[in-house]
Structure 1
Amino acid sequence: MLGLPAHVTACLFDLDGVLTQTARVHNAAWAETFDEFLRRRAEATGEPFRPFDPGDDYNRYVDGRPRADGVRTFLASRQIVLPEGDLDDPPSADTVHGVGNRKNVLLLHRIHTDGVLPYQGSVDYLHASRAAGLRRVVVSASANAGDVVAAAGLEPLVEARIDGVVARERGLRGKPHPDTFLAGAELLGVRPDQAAVFEDALAGVAAGRAGDFGYVIGVDRVGQADELREHGADIVVSDLSELLTGVDTGPEVLR
């Protein structure tokens, strides 16, 4: 059914890059945030300035992770350790939460200025999955997932949401840990093996595999099909519309 094994009755959708075209907005906000921090650090230390790579750095260290984890993981790749600080640190603070809050200010500005577009193939898939009786929940690391879902007009097509706010309140570990996806399945009243995970991030695909979910669909928007498969995707598609074509969806890459 809809490119899924027969035992799958629920769909757990990542948001940015899977349902909505906000991954590029996140990427741009991260690049602006990290480059400003790294440039100031280079001026203070005399070290050469090496900017954030919106390709490799974003995909390896930031994409799909909770905001603070993204800050820690990327800066660790540059051998930089910052104090944690507090959740409400000002965006100017050179702490993990301060840097993360700076990124969030830039992200919200871009979202409110430019709006949010869903992927049409994903909208079609949501309509088809609802018509087929499949359960549907958004599972996102973003604390702004509610705003994005609403801005993209997807609220009528999803039943519930596990996002960064819920994860913080419940102490759920971020991707690549499976906690948030497991919470999504629990919210829908299904076992993990009855649910399919839809993810574009390497960390998210790894989380789907770590949780022993019934099927893990990698969505390749940036040319990383091989890496998605290496991290645990059962199948890789470039758009969810490919799952509506009736093509045999075995463990191969549909291109």
Structure 2
Amino acid sequence: MPESALPSRPLAALLFDMDGTIISSIASAERIWSRWAEAHGLDVAAFLPTIHGVQSVETIRRLNLPGIDPVAEAAAITEAEMADVDDIVAIPGARAFLEALPRDRWAIVTSAPRQLAERRLAAAGMPVPDLLVAAEDVARGKPAPDCFLMAAERLGVAASDCLVFEDAPAGIRAAEAAGAGVVVVTATHREPVRTGHPAIADYIRLGVAKAQDGIRVTRTG
């Protein structure tokens, strides 16, 4: 959908997924996961699209590989990802947009472990919000709504008054289940994704206006 469809109503808070939404770590993640998949005899091309937007341990667990400890394997992958951040970059315009937001009105809600999230944000030169909900903070990861509900609660607002920026199907479903509005970020999409939600390619023409009744996402230019 076009950017003109972005919500005009006042919002209590904005919630952002991280990978593929405000930064791009696809090259790093796919290098590491490709090596892992090859070592376990998987079809790499078929497997890679399944890794995005969910916790690593869940990606491994749902494969039901014999003799594999999903927790240990996920920990090893996280360590490898922590060391491979050289080509992680910000989505165009994301840094300026985030820095324009009131610090108590936004959060990052990611399926990545906290240490990895902080490492990737630093590598991309991105601001770290006062609230970051990471993989270890919830018992159920995306597509369950728990992470977005937790973020809204900790910000002291209703999830239904929040706007979620997401790129992956699991995260979109989580935001929908939480009752939040959704904007789909398509910067890293290789194929069109039809969701019925408004979509943006980047943040370059987005701005934020502060008002008594909340904040509003605006377009510039």
TM-score (norm 1): 0.71
User: 1:107/1:208 Cα in 2 relative to 1: closer, same or farther (>3 Å)?
Assistant: same
Give the count of matched residue pairs: 203
| Aligned residue runs from structure 1 range 73-152, under 5 A | 73=62, 75=63, 80-82=64-66, 94-111=68-85, 114=86, 116-130=88-102, 135-143=105-113, 144-152=116-124
Identity %, equivalent residues: 24
- Cα distance in 1, alignment partners of residues 47 and 206 from structure 2: 29
Unaligned 5+ segments in structure 2 are 208-217
Aligned-pair distance for 1:72? 2.2
1:21 to 13, 20, 24: 24
**d(CA) in 2 for partners of 1:226, 1:18:** 14
In structure 2, the partner of 1:234 is 197
Does 2:44 align with 1:52?
A: yes
* Greater C-alpha Rg: 1
Bigger share in strand: 2
More helix by share: 1
SS in 2 for 1:153: coil
Which structure exhibits the higher relative contact order, with contacts defined as CA atoms closer than 8 Å and separated by 6 or more residues?
2
Does the CA-based 8 Å contact 1:65-1:175 persist in structure 2?
Answer: yes
**Post-superposition offset of 1:14:** 0.6
Cα deviation, 1:37-75, whole Å, max 9, x if unaligned, reads 11xxxxxxxxxxx5212xx5333x2211111111123x2
Question: Does the residue aligned with 1:240 lie in a helix, a strand or coil?
Answer: coil
Gaps of 5+ in 1: 39-49, 84-93, 248-255
Q: Distance in 2 between matches of 1:186 and 1:82?
A: 39
Q: In the alignment, is the contact (CA less than 8 A) between 1:121 and 1:241 conserved in 2?
A: yes
Separation (CA, whole Å) in 2 of partners of 1:57 and 1:126: 32
How many Å separate the matches in 1 of 2:137 and 2:31? 25
1:246 equivalent in structure 2:
219
User: Cα gap change, 1:184/1:23 in structure 2, threshold over 3 Å: closer, same or farther?
Assistant: farther
Cα deviation for residue 187 of structure 1 reads 1.1
